[in-house]
Structure 1
């Protein structure tokens, strides 16, 4: 399932619900539908930037690496699937943070699921 964030201050940001869930839970917001008012954007930026900084401190766990490697032979070849490239939390949050910065600068709300 996809979630599209919209704001009059920036282009739409669409992401998978599973990826948006972590950010919205950090902000105590419903993942299905909600609004971040202009008054909430400064705190939202602060919270998400702190979470991004924290995520950069911790490397990808060995379990994730093993799970990815388990689907490939010893040479890393797989005739049926391409080896997945992990996407960091910071990379996933970048478009949303850009939207929040623009919304805060232009005193606009950010909405999703409506």
Structure 2
């Protein structure tokens, strides 16, 4: 399933629900439907920036590395494909963080699931 973030301050952002869930749980918001009001934006920005900063201090988990290597090694059929690069939390959160900053600047809501 997908989640689409909307605000009159920025273009829509659509992402997989499981990726949006991590962002929204930081702010104690429901992934199905919700709003971040202008008064909530400073705290939401602070929380998301802290999580992004924290995620940059931790390397990709060994589990992800093992999974990538299991599917892209000499004994599998995938060894001729370019090895995928994991997408970090910081990369996934960046567009939402930009939307939050724009909404804060223009004092607009950020909505999803509507």
Measured at CA, do residues 82 and 2 of structure 1 come closer, stay the same or move farther in structure 2, by a change above 3 Å?
farther
Over the aligned positions, Cα root-mean-square deviation in angstroms equals: 1.9
Equivalent position of 2:110 in the other structure: 110
CA distance in 2, matches of 1:80, 1:2: 31
Equivalent position of 2:30 in the other structure: 30
User: Is this contact kept in 1: 2:73–2:79, CA < 8 A?
Assistant: no
CA distance in 2, matches of 1:105, 1:76: 51
Secondary structure, in 3 states, of the residue corresponding to 1:78?
helix
CA distance in 2, matches of 1:6, 1:82: 34
Q: Shift of the alpha carbon at 1:75?
A: 7.9
TM-score by length of 1: 0.92
User: Is this contact kept in 1: 2:5–2:12, CA < 8 A?
Assistant: yes
Residue segments in structure 2 that go unaligned for 5+ positions in a row: none
User: Is this contact kept in 2: 1:69–1:76, CA < 8 A?
Assistant: no
Relative to structure 2, which stretch is displaced further, 98-107 or 58-67?
Answer: 58-67
Equivalent position of 1:5 in the other structure: 5
Q: How many pairs were matched up?
A: 114
Residue segments in structure 1 that go unaligned for 5+ positions in a row: none
Alignment of 1:97 with 2:97, yes or no, is yes
Q: How does 1:35-54 map to 2 (within 5 A)?
A: 35-54=35-54
CA distance in 2, matches of 1:59, 1:7: 32
Q: Shift of the alpha carbon at 1:108?
A: 0.3
Measured at CA, do residues 81 and 31 of structure 1 come closer, stay the same or move farther in structure 2, by a change above 3 Å?
farther
CA distance in 1, matches of 2:31, 2:106: 24
